[in-house]
Amino acid sequence: MAQKKYLFTPGPTPVPPQVLAAMAEPVVHHRSPDFKPIYERCLTRLREVYRTQRDVLLYTASGTGAFESAVANLVSPGEPHLVVSAGNFGERWAAMTAAYGADVDHLRYAWGETPDADDVRARLRERPAKAVWVVHSETSTGVVADVQALAAAAKEAGALVAVDAVSSLGAVPCETDAWGLDVVVSGSQKALMTPPGLGLCAVSAAASAATGSSPRFYFDWERTQKAQAKLDAAFTPPVSLVAGLDVALGLLLEEGLEAAFDRHVRLGRAARAGAKAMGLELFSPDEDRSAVVTAVRPPEGIDSSEVVKGLRDRFGITIAGGQGELQGKIFRLGHIGWFDVFDITTMLAAVESVLAELGAEIERGVAVTAALEAYEHQRVA
């Protein structure tokens, strides 16, 4: 038998067969009646998932591309901006805003720390900023920040707030309108259960009114806003990916957003309970909010790359190692999107086998049960 394969990385994530089937449908023209109903439904569903009344702009781009739309539209050279980082993606946004000539105040936490709203408040008191740039789920560390609190701190100081919700949207609560988030960027390839290729960006009226002087065309918000308002696209959209996303959003909304959030909380609990039961140390916080990626330190003396390689070679399972300064130091178990508890027990059982083979002293035979028990807790209040 050909080896079964498992994709347990925090993005791209596994895609449901119904979505893959939609990807294989014959290509249709984006201005034809074959596409318009799909497009309209997809845009409507996106508003529901984003919990916003505003249009969600759809870009043929990775999440980084959609994020660049925010930078290109909001940043003018020399303007003060506050970037909050605590991992790989936050640092990317600091580099990107700097590339656009922003006068960047970089509130930089060590990788794995959780940004604090009071720190943002203090920084903005010292130096006001046009916008505060924050990461909701820092995929490189597993930390999910309290974006509601961070946004409130920004608002108090009269700053706009732009949020990287690439790996959080659809997995943990992200209330675009209710929390007053001015820009929320996401992508198709995480909790939205679609292959990579679509970048998303919700833009508040205040953000739309605050666009700056940086050159832009492809990522110009207004151009895409105007086109989408007519159910058109400024440039040929990736029709197959849109059709896939439409199906995936249908699945997500059929489950219900609250149920999906609850499932992710319980998946996170299960992953953490299993890792701890084996005697492993967590790198990501042991808290319900950080429900999308569980980052784990390997036992003393074992390089996390060996764990990643072992899972792949022995079992056809792909997980992620550490990025940047965390290379070799953590492995990351993704559980964003199309995951149930048996994906968690599979990854834990495989990690246990591989660690044992690598000679690690771990507790055997308890992780799977611990995970199942943690998952079965009653619904999160």
By CB under 8 A, name the binding residues for a second copy.
5, 7, 9, 11-15, 20-21, 23-30, 32-34, 60-65, 68, 71-72, 77, 95-96, 99-101, 187, 189, 195-197, 199, 214-218, 220, 234-241, 312, 318, 320
Instruction: Give min distance, CB of 94 to a second copy, in A.
Output: 11
Question: Which residue's CB is nearer to a second copy, number 212 or number 250?
Answer: 212
Question: Which residue's CB is nearer to a second copy, number 58 or number 159?
Answer: 58
Question: Which residue's CB is nearer to a second copy, number 169 or number 362?
Answer: 169
**How many Å apart are CA 85 and CA 69, to the nearest integer?**
19
Instruction: Give min distance, CB of 209 to a second copy, in A.
Output: 20
- Residues whose CB is less than 8 angstroms from the CB of residue 230 and which lie 6 or more positions away in sequence, other chains included: none
Instruction: Give min distance, CB of 226 to a second copy, in A.
Output: 14
**How many Å apart are CA 140 and CA 142, to the nearest integer?**
6
Instruction: Give min distance, CB of 99 to a second copy, in A.
Output: 5
Question: Which residue's CB is nearer to a second copy, number 46 or number 277?
Answer: 46
Question: Which residue's CB is nearer to a second copy, number 317 or number 370?
Answer: 317
Instruction: Give min distance, CB of 338 to a second copy, in A.
Output: 10
Question: Which residue's CB is nearer to a second copy, number 61 or number 362?
Answer: 61
Instruction: Give min distance, CB of 262 to a second copy, in A.
Output: 25
Q: Which residue's structure tokens are 């660049």?
A: 68
